[in-house]
Each structure stands twice: as C-alpha cells, then as structure tokens.
Structure 1
Amino acid sequence: MANTAELHLQEALAAYDFGAPLVGAVRFGKGHINDTFCVHTQPLEGDCVRYILQRVSNAAFSRPDQLMSNIVGVTDYLRKVIAEEGGDPDRETLTVLRTRDGKSYFTDSEGRAWRVFPFIEDTVCLQAAETPELFEASALAFGRFQHQLKDYPADTLYETIARFHDTENRLANFKKALEADVMGRAQDVQPEIDFVLAHEADCSVAMSALREGKLPLRVTHNDTKLNNVLIDRESGKGICVIDLDTVMPGLAINDFGDSIRFGANHSAEDEQDLSKVNFDLDLFEAYTRGFLTGCAGSLTPAELEYLPWGAKLMTLECGIRFLTDYLEGDHYFATHREGQNLDRCRTQFKLVSDMEKAWEDMAAVVKKYA
C-alpha cells in the first residue's frame, strides 16, 4: 500500500514543471479531507521555493473537473480584482499551477486527481482565534472575499456538494433517520429530538427567503472557519482565503453564520459539560465588525437583516447533522469515543439557545456596523 501511494505521489510530481530541482515532498497540515504535501524545490540561486500538492478526496468530491473549474474561475477572477485594487495577487489569492500539458489538475494511474498551488510564504494558519483581533482579521478576509466576488456570476459555478447548506434538506434527512432508528438510539435522545422539532419552522427561513427573492444567490465559500484564512506573520492581517473546494452558489448569511458557529464561543465542539458552552456576544461583535468592513457595503439590506439568522441556522443545521449521524450509527463524522456526535449535537443546540436569548443584542450589533 505504501509503495502504491509513493508511486502515485511520484506520478503527480512528474506531471508538473516546478522550474527548479525537486528536493522532496512531505505531508503537510491538519486537513482531514484531502491528502496534502509540501513540495520543496531548490533553484540554482536563491532560497528554497515551496508548493502545496494535494490529492483530492474522491469520497468527498466525485467530480474533480467541476471542482477545479470552480477554483480556476474564481481565482482567475480574484487575481484581476486584486490587481485592480493595487494588491498582490500572488499573496492574496490561490494560484493554480498548470500541469506540463496545461491542465488544472493531474489524474494518476488510479484515477485520483492532484493539484498544485504555489506556497504563500510568511503566513500562518490558526486552528482557533487566540484573540478577538485575530477573529476579526479572519472576518475582514471573508468579508473582502465576498465583496471581491460580488459581481461574479454565481450561476456559472458547479454545486460541488449537492444541497450542502440546505437546512430544509438536513431536516428531512434527520426525519428519515429518526423514523428508521437503525441503532435503536432515538429513545435515549428525546430532548434533542424535541429541540429539532420545535425549530422545524426555523429550518425554512433562509431557503424561503431565497425562493422569494429576498436573499440573492452569491458566490460563497461554505467553510468559513478561521483555519481557512492565511494570516500574515508580520502584520497579523488575514490576507488570503484558502480551501476553495466548497466555493459554489450560496447565501452570504451562511458564510457569516458558519464563522460565528465555529468561533464565537470558547468551548470544544464535543464539550460534555454544557455549562462551559456559551455564545460570546463580544466575539460576535468583533466578527460582525470585521465582516461588514470587508464587505464594504456589498450586502443588501435584507442580507444584513438576516445575518443573525445565518448564525442561528448554521449552528442549528450543524447540530441536526450531528444528531442525524448519531441516529444512523456515526458513519459520516469521525468519532473517537461513544456518544461523541451526541455531545457535538448538544453543544450546537446550547449555542442556538444562547443566540435566541441574545437575539435583540445580535440584531443591534449588526445595525451598529451596517
């Protein structure tokens, strides 16, 4: 197996002209979906030049052609916008390195897709917001990403994961899992089931607003965690949004909301002591300030009004997904102990409850910076 993996890695390396002799390729980062390597090259003069080489997960993404079409389209567009703004396209967006035959990705002898990006030096990737300032820096980057793509035709992008942030669909999947109850676990999670059913109407809020034309379909990132922003090592500013695999048509409120779900609290996602799980309004304000500054007025009045809904719905949806997976036998999310998905579900539902108590304050924060 190891020899086969090494063979495919060597195939991928040979498919690219790195412009300098290869020194080696080592596993890199903490991502769980794609296999990532850092490729080191050494020009005859000057410092080592690095690249990121990734093998795309065929389990998560069955159409690498569509995936890479999205990424190439968006990054080429961003390069033009960044250059027009007087920025540095080589540092402020990803660049797809073409294969020797001019393609955006390479397919190995096993049919797996590989792609390469030049390494963006002097940046750090943080797993958690160590300060409100860093959380705000990531918000500014995601808001700027939204602003820079405001005129990109979202309907030209492929949906790389079908109905990814369709909360109504997540609710329907939950109901199917509840009815089947293949593990016999439903009897032990009645409070969590009741919580979902009590919020059934909420699950339609964003999708109904989209259908009614209140919320526009935009180019969205769909995985707006802090670790998907590269932070400049010297300035501490978020300079580049990465991990563009889930860039597709979506709602701006969901990109905002997923960041809040992930970052506006201080507990672990699977914290068992719910007294430690609390929605932090100060962090919500820091992120809102940064995001709306980055958006630079590109959101509609309706989108601004629905931003708190984005936070609530992304958190509710995530909790529903954890509970669904628990009922189905923990097949989707990796677990390392019994009941971990249930604990994850409970933390999300606790955050939803906290948001409901702080609802007027959340709306006031948005109004303050809108």
Structure 2
Amino acid sequence: MELNLNAEVLQAYGYTSENININQIGTGLINRTYLLSPVFEENKFILQNINTSVFKHPQSIAGNLKLIGNYLATNYPDYLFIKPVSTISGEEMAFVNGEYWRLLPYIPHTVSLEVLNEPQQAYEAAKQFAKLSRLLADFETTTLQETIPGFHNLSLRVDQFQDALKLASPELKTIAKQQIDDANSQKHLLDYFNSYSHRKDFPNRVMHHDTKISNVLLDAETFKGICVIDLDTIMPGKFISDLGDMMRTYLCAFSENETDLGKINIRLPYFEAMIKAYLSEMKSILTETEKELILFSGKYMIYMQAIRFLTDFLNGNIYYPVSYSTQNLDRAKNQFKLLHELSVNEKELQDIIESNL
C-alpha cells in the first residue's frame, strides 16, 4: 500500500489514514482495488485506481455512469446501480499525482464468484445483466461515450490479426499455422455479422461488455442475484456483446487457460439456465433480427477472443500477460475448440433458444 499517495486520495473523500482501515482486495488485472472501513461509520467503501493504460479517458467512464445513474434513479429508483461517491469537492473521481481514483459504496452481505459451480448461478448472473439492459432499453445510447473504442468490433480485430500476420516472424507463423488457418476459415462469421449490421431492427443498446461471473453480486446466503458491478465498460453496443460473452465464459467448466482441449465442452444445463434467465428479461424487447442472432452471439464473441489471443501471440505477447511464451497460442487453441463445440451442438442449443422465445 502506497500510504503517501493514498493519504491524498483519502483526503479527497474527507478521510485520513487515522480514521479509516485499508485492505487491498480483488483479483482483477486491470484496476487496483481496496476495501475502506471507516472507524466511526458502519458503511464501507471500495476504492479503485483506474488503469489509464486500458481506459485512456477515465472521464468518459465517470460521465457514462453519471448519466445512467441519473436515468435509473429517475425511472427505476428501486434498482441498485452502484455509481461512484462524489469527492468532497463534488467531483466524480479524485485526480491525485497523475492518477484517477473513484470511491464506490460497498454492498454488504454479498459475494462475487470467480467460478460457476451450478446452473442456477449462471441463471442469476444472466438475469442481472439482462435486467440492466431491459431497464435501459429506452435510454439514449448516443449520449454515452466509448470507454474502450472498438472493444467488441470484430472487423477491427480481424484487421489487427491480418496486420500481425504480415509482420510476424516465419518461426511464429510456422508454430501457429493451424490456428492461422482456423482464423481464416472462420472469417465468414464477420461477413455474416456485416450482412445484419445495418438493419434498422439491430439497434445499439446500453451493454455491460464484460459479463463474466465475477461481475455480478449475489446474496451471500441465498445466492440470488443482486446487481452487476465493474461498470467501466458500460457503453453502446449490440446485444451480442453481453449475451455472447456469457456464452463464452459460462458454457465451459474450464477457462481459456486450459491446455487439455479434451476438457473444452459445452455444458447444456448452464446454457439452458442462462438462456431462460436472459430471455425472461429481454424477450419482450428483442427485435426479430436480435432473436435470429442469439446463438450467433456466442460464435461472434468466441471467434473474436480467439483471434485476439492469436494476434497477441503473433505480436510477441504485448497485451495479455503470459507465464510462458506460447500461452496466448494455447488460449487461441482453447477458444477455437470452444467455437467448434458450439457448432457441433448447434441444433440442440437452438432448440433450447426456441423453447424459451
């Protein structure tokens, strides 16, 4: 803990190191996170340092959260939307020594999971992400800013892959030949998306963009969903971003770091729970085009992540942290296998979707 730095940050919110206890928490790779426990108050807070290497314009995060928070407070006052606490000077963030910090209320009696252990947890998580999308269905998305430009832009990711391929060494291209072939053979997914992208009934919506299970708070006793957290990436996007990312991260029992590809399989009960929950909230507002693209959303997001890992491998592992030189290639293999499994099980998965529409 850098106490000298944090002393100034604490002062921005009216605290000092003498009247508050500080503990570093969380396993996130992006932002440093601390639990603040004021000595003479019952309320606790989460203090986060915003990683400006990833989020180049933190003001856009603060602006988005303020707009959405005000909208929800006006239209759905009972909804728990965790927006930042203002500094004592009324700012959305504290700017200290060239770094941005924000303070969030801590929600007691809740937990967040790192790993899904049963389908009901997938149900609760999907329902919370879908509920937020539903409540914001009439929100004017053009008022929001992109906090990570091009984050889920598959066309951009394919272009970055092609650029990396041109510059990669012959050795890396030889090692990754099968995955390069896989990436090129699946490019039709981008063409398919583009054939829909200009339809009037394929709108931009307010999307979370990072729907992993750890970004949902559950009741510590009942494990019922409470709300979504980690709202840095909330911005305009297609419904594909949230639902597809849930498919990518919920459907397999193993993460993208698993190297035994025989373990990469689709868990049908988790898919069914997720789809049932998502559509229980979103079915009434999804357009016909969006309904057509429900299963495709998983293909889109898995393919995009596969080529992002492959691109980083070809670039020399400059974006994703690795513990060995071919880890990003192994991650790409993992995601291409998951994409294959989604296709192999397509009929059964589509039947589950149809039964819930």
Which bracket does the TM-score occupy, shorter chain normalised?
Answer: over 0.9
- Cα distance change of structure 1 residues 20 and 140 upon mapping to structure 2, 3 Å threshold: farther
Q: Which residue of 1 aligns with 2:25?
A: 28
CA contact 2:118–2:270 (8 Å) conserved in 1:
no
Q: Which residue of 2 aligns with 1:37?
A: 34
2:55 matched to 1:61? Answer: yes
Aligned residues with identical type, % of pairs? 31
Moved more, 313-322 or 73-82: 73-82
Equivalent residue in structure 2 for 1:17, among 14, 30, 55: 14
2:67 matched to 1:73? Answer: yes
CA contact 1:160–1:245 (8 Å) conserved in 2:
yes
1:273 shift after superposition:
1.3
1:64 shift after superposition:
1.1
Equivalent residue in structure 1 for 2:83, among 78, 82, 95: 95
Q: Which residue of 2 aligns with 1:172?
A: 159
What one-letter code is carried by the residue in structure 2 that aligns with 1:27? Answer: Q
CA distance in 2, matches of 1:363, 1:99: 49
CA distance in 2, matches of 1:204, 1:10: 52
- Cα distance change of structure 1 residues 64 and 183 upon mapping to structure 2, 3 Å threshold: farther
Moved more, 129-138 or 182-191: 182-191
CA distance in 1, matches of 2:194, 2:9: 41
CA contact 1:168–1:204 (8 Å) conserved in 2:
no
Q: Pairwise mapping of residues 89-168 of structure 1 onto structure 2 (< 5 A)?
A: 89=79, 92-108=80-96, 110-168=97-155
Deviations 1:34-90 (A, max 9, x none): 1111111133xxx6321011111110111111111011111222233432xxx3x4x
CA distance in 2, matches of 1:77, 1:20: 35
Q: Which residue of 2 aligns with 1:282?
A: 269
CA contact 1:167–1:204 (8 Å) conserved in 2:
no
Moved more, 72-81 or 121-130: 72-81
Deviations 1:259-318 (A, max 9, x none): 110110112312111111112222111110111112251211211110111111100100
CA distance in 1, matches of 2:17, 2:278: 40
2:258 matched to 1:261? Answer: no
Moved more, 56-65 or 200-209: 200-209
Gaps of 5+ in 1: none
Paired residues, number: 357
Q: Which residue of 2 aligns with 1:350?
A: 337
CA contact 1:139–1:294 (8 Å) conserved in 2:
no
CA distance in 1, matches of 2:3, 2:160: 39
CA contact 1:147–1:296 (8 Å) conserved in 2:
no
What one-letter code is carried by the residue in structure 2 that aligns with 1:11? Answer: E
- Cα distance change of structure 1 residues 94 and 19 upon mapping to structure 2, 3 Å threshold: farther
Equivalent residue in structure 2 for 1:222, among 200, 206, 209: 209
CA distance in 2, matches of 1:341, 1:254: 22
- Cα distance change of structure 1 residues 182 and 156 upon mapping to structure 2, 3 Å threshold: farther
CA contact 2:119–2:273 (8 Å) conserved in 1:
yes
Deviations 1:184-211 (A, max 9, x none): 3011111111111111121233344222
Question: How well do the aligned residues superpose, as a CA RMSD in angstroms?
Answer: 1.8
DSSP-derived class of the 1:184 partner: helix
Moved more, 114-123 or 21-30: 21-30
DSSP-derived class of the 1:278 partner: coil
CA contact 2:45–2:103 (8 Å) conserved in 1:
yes
Q: Which residue of 1 aligns with 2:185?
A: 198
Q: TM-score, normalised by structure 2?
A: 0.95
1:19 shift after superposition:
12
Q: Which residue of 2 aligns with 1:235?
A: 222
